[in-house]
Amino acid sequence: MSTQTMTFAKALTAGLRASLEADDHVMIMGEDVGRLGGVFRITDGLQKDFGEHRVVDTPLAESGIVGTAIGLAMRGYRPICEIQFDGFVFPAYDQITTQLAKLHYRSRGAIRLPVVVRIPYGGGIGAIEHHSESPEALFAHTPGLRVVSPATPQDAYDMIRAAVVSPDPVLFFEPKGRYWSKGEVDLDSPVATATSDGGTPDPLGQARIARAGTDVTLVAYGPTVATALSAADALAAEGTSAEVVDLRSLSPMDVPAVVDSVRRTGRCVVVHEAPTFFGAGAELAARVTEECFYSLEAPVLRVGGFHTPYPVAKIEHDYLPSTDRVLDAVDRALAH
Q: Which residues are catalytic?
A: 131
* Whole-number Å distance between alpha carbons of 263 and 248: 20
Write the DSSP string, 201-244.
--TTT--EEEE--SSEEEEE-TTHHHHHHHHHHHHHHTT--EEE
Contacts of residue 225, Cβ cutoff 8 Å, sequence gap at least 6: 151, 152, 210, 244, 246
Distances (CA, A) of 285 to 179, 272, 296, 298, 307: 29, 13, 11, 12, 18
Distances (CA, A) of 317 to 40, 123, 238, 272, 320: 22, 9, 25, 14, 5
Torsion sign over Cα 233, 322, 248, 284: positive
Contacts of residue 155, Cβ cutoff 8 Å, sequence gap at least 6: 203, 208, 246, 248
With H, G, I as helix, E, B as strand and everything else as coil, classify residue 187: coil
